[in-house]
Amino acid sequence: MAWPGAYPPDNWHVSSLPLVMRRVRFEGIMLNVAPPMTVSKSQSGASSYRAAQIAHEFDEWAPTYDTGRLASWYRAQALLAFKHLDLPINGRVLDIGCATGWALRCLARRRTDVTGTGIDMSEAMITAAQAASRHLDFQNLQFRQLDWEGTGKIVGPFDVILCLSTLHYFAQPGASLRRMRSLMSENGQLLIVERAVEHSILTRIWDFLHRRVMRDNVTFEPTSRLIALAHEAGFRDVRVLSRVTRIMWKNKLYTSLVLIEARA
């Protein structure tokens, strides 16, 4: 999702808080302190409630997503993945968690033969992606509001799937990776960008807060675990292509990222 479109801010949700105040964003982390949306767990079940929470955060973020201080940070992650892109002529690309669709638009400028599909849970993000695509007359791109872990149908196969800072939002990353594998062409390429939690004390702290305090299923898995999950999902040749560990990189205080490739 995005590049970025793919990296939504972390959600701060403490179910015991009766009233949430306005949100605060710190270094790409969203602290949710404001009136929540009107979706109750009893109405829609825990899974759809969680999906609605995430979509709500993205909807609020959409107007400033491409102009905020960290916009260049999100985009840099897509450019990192593009350095290793193995996309055949007339290839098909799926961007999971595309946000405003920047990554696919960037790719479409370089490769007019490519067909791109972007999906995101946020209606506002998808609306922005569609508007930008129409404005630039990218007829080879389409964007859909869809929860990857939901029941929405995606028609493959895809030659490349991008999962840019999105995987940690999946309640069941293993099942999500299996679905990606099922939609890929032979020798298709999956590119994952995630936080390298093993190299970041800050990310380990946020992982603990998400697991133990917020309990919102947001989980930052170590690189070794991500590789294992990809293997279990049926991918082969899973490997680390690149790492970024930098201070004050692209306007972010501290960055620790890993780029993983997997083949279908």
Look at residue 243 and tell me if it is in a domain: yes
* Residue 199 maps to a domain: yes
Residue 157 class from Cβ within 10 Å (0-12 exposed, 13-18 middle, 19+ buried)? Answer: middle
Is 37 part of a structural domain of the chain? Answer: no
Lowest-pLDDT range, 29-38, 49-58, 141-150? 29-38
Q: Say which range, 20-24, 106-110, 124-128, 242-246, has the weakest mean pLDDT.
A: 20-24
CA-CA distance, 204 to 191, in Å (whole number)?
23
Whole domain around residue 189: which residue ranges?
Answer: 71-263
Is 172 among the domain residues?
yes
- Whether 38 is covered by a domain: the verdict is no
Measured distance CA(171)–CA(248) in Å, rounded:
30
Give mean pLDDT, residues 204-219: 82
Domain assignment present for 63:
no
Residue 1 pLDDT > 60: no
Q: Which residues of 188-221 are buried (b: 16+ CB within 10 A; e: fewer)?
A: bbbbbbbbbbebbeebeebbebbeeebebbbbbb
Residue 21 falls inside a structural domain: no
Residue 224 pLDDT greater than 90, yes or no: yes
In angstroms, the CA 172 to CA 64 distance is: 29
Does residue 226 contact residue 191 with C-beta atoms inside 8 Å? no
pLDDT at 180 over 90: yes
pLDDT given for residue 64 in this prediction: 95
pLDDT at position 212: 85
46 pLDDT tier (thresholds 50, 70, 90) = low
Specify the number of domains making up the chain: 1
The b-or-e profile of 49-64 (16+ CB within 10 A means b, else e) is ebbbbbbbbbbbbbee
Strand 236-249 and strand 184-195: the pairing is unpaired
Given pLDDT bands bounded at 50, 70 and 90, which one contains residue 4?
A: very low
**Matching residue, tokens 């999500």:** 176
pLDDT at 52 over 50: yes
Q: How confident is the model at residue 155 (pLDDT cuts 50, 70, 90)?
A: very high
Max Cα-Cα span within the chain: 54
Does residue 133 or residue 4 have the better pLDDT? 133
Is there a domain that residue 78 lies in?
yes
Cα 119–Cα 192–Cα 118 angle in degrees, nearest 5: 15
- Is residue 152 within 8 Å of residue 146, measured between CB atoms? yes
Structure tokens at 167: 């995987």
Least confident range of 34-43, 185-194, 222-231 = 34-43
Range of lowest pLDDT (23-27, 241-245, 246-250): 23-27
Q: 195 or 29, which is more confident?
A: 195
CATH at residue 147: 3.40.50.150
